């Protein structure tokens, strides 16, 4: 696995990965839907798969003394590493933003554990759709990315729309209790024990969803790619 990861790093890493990871600076834009930065990381992953396909990576890997399952797992692990780096950068940027721009984000989710939880689910959705779709044929990167992008944007618009709605109703005493709960415990930097608990549970749930979905994506991808005739 170490050798395959080394191959991924040296032969498959696309320059857009560094560019799009750098877009974590979007978290410093006032009143902006910060989950959009995660979509660009998904885009970078697409470029990795597309470039590897164009460079004949499948045929090259098939000539190595490794199984198809090992090749798939190495690529999935490579994807997980890139996403983990992005999440770590997001965490650091959230900590910095809380000091430099502590105002409420009217354009979506605040800098908080909730943002990281929603980002985990976003990556989970992308992995579960994109990876099995790609490995069904081993070469349809574009259509697979389109499917994954649709899932990502549905999640992104639902969550950021919900956060915007809760923020708009936060000062309204007649607002539904559901929206008040979100604005006081989820779409905020936690100030109370209850908010910390709620966001901690949310982050744990996001981590679990990411782990389960990525595991399923890898398992399905292995089964599908095993039936592909690499030529």
Q: Decide if 231 is inside a domain.
A: no
Q: Decide if 209 is inside a domain.
A: yes
Alpha-carbon distance of 72 to 183, in angstroms, equals 41
Q: What is the average per-residue pLDDT within 118-127?
A: 97
Q: Decide if 181 is inside a domain.
A: yes
Q: Decide if 184 is inside a domain.
A: yes
Q: Decide if 99 is inside a domain.
A: yes
Q: Decide if 89 is inside a domain.
A: yes
Tokens of 105: 């984000």
Q: What is the average per-residue pLDDT within 37-64?
A: 89
* Coil, strand or helix at 42: helix
Alpha-carbon distance of 146 to 144, in angstroms, equals 5
- With a pLDDT cut of 90, the percent of the chain lying above it is 55
pLDDT digits (tens, 9 = 90+) for 139-148: 889 999 999 9
* pLDDT higher than 80, residue 44: yes
Q: Decide if 230 is inside a domain.
A: no
* pLDDT higher than 80, residue 171: no
* pLDDT higher than 90, residue 179: no
Q: What is the average per-residue pLDDT within 195-223?
A: 95
Alpha-carbon distance of 194 to 142, in angstroms, equals 44
Q: Decide if 174 is inside a domain.
A: yes
Question: What are phi and psi for residue 65, nearest 5 degrees?
Answer: -80, 55
Domain count, the chain: 1
Q: What is the pLDDT of residue 136?
A: 92
Residue 86 belongs to domain spanning? 2-225
pLDDT digits (tens, 9 = 90+) for 83-105: 999 999 999 999 898 888 878 88
Alpha-carbon distance of 58 to 105, in angstroms, equals 44
Least confident among 50-54, 71-75, 174-178, 221-225: 174-178
């Amino acid at each position: 696995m170490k050798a395959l990861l080394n191959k991924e790093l040296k032969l498959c890493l696309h320059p857009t990965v560094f560019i799009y990871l750098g877009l974590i600076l979007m978290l410093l834009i006032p009143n902006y839907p910060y989950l959009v930065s995660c979509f660009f990381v998904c885009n970078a992953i697409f470029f990795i798969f597309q470039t590897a396909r164009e460079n004949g990576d499948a045929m090259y890997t098939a000539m190595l003394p490794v199984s198809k399952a090992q090749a798939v797992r190495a690529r999935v692990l490579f994807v997980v590493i890139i996403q983990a780096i992005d999440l770590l950068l997001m965490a650091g940027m959230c900590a910095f933003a809380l000091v430099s721009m502590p105002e409420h984000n009217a354009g979506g989710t605040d800098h908080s554990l909730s943002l990281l939880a929603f980002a985990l689910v976003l990556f989970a959705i992308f992995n579960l759709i994109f990876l099995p779709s790609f490995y069904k044929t081993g070469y349809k990167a574009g259509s697979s990315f389109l499917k994954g992008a649709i899932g990502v944007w549905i999640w992104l618009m639902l969550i950021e729309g919900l956060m915007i709605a809760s923020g708009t109703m936060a000062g309204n005493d007649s607002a539904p209790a559901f929206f008040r709960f979100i604005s006081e415990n989820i779409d905020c930097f936690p100030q109370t024990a209850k908010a910390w608990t709620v966001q901690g549970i949310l982050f744990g749930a996001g981590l679990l969803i990411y782990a389960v979905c990525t595991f399923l994506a890898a398992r399905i991808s292995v089964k599908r790619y095993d039936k592909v005739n690499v030529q």
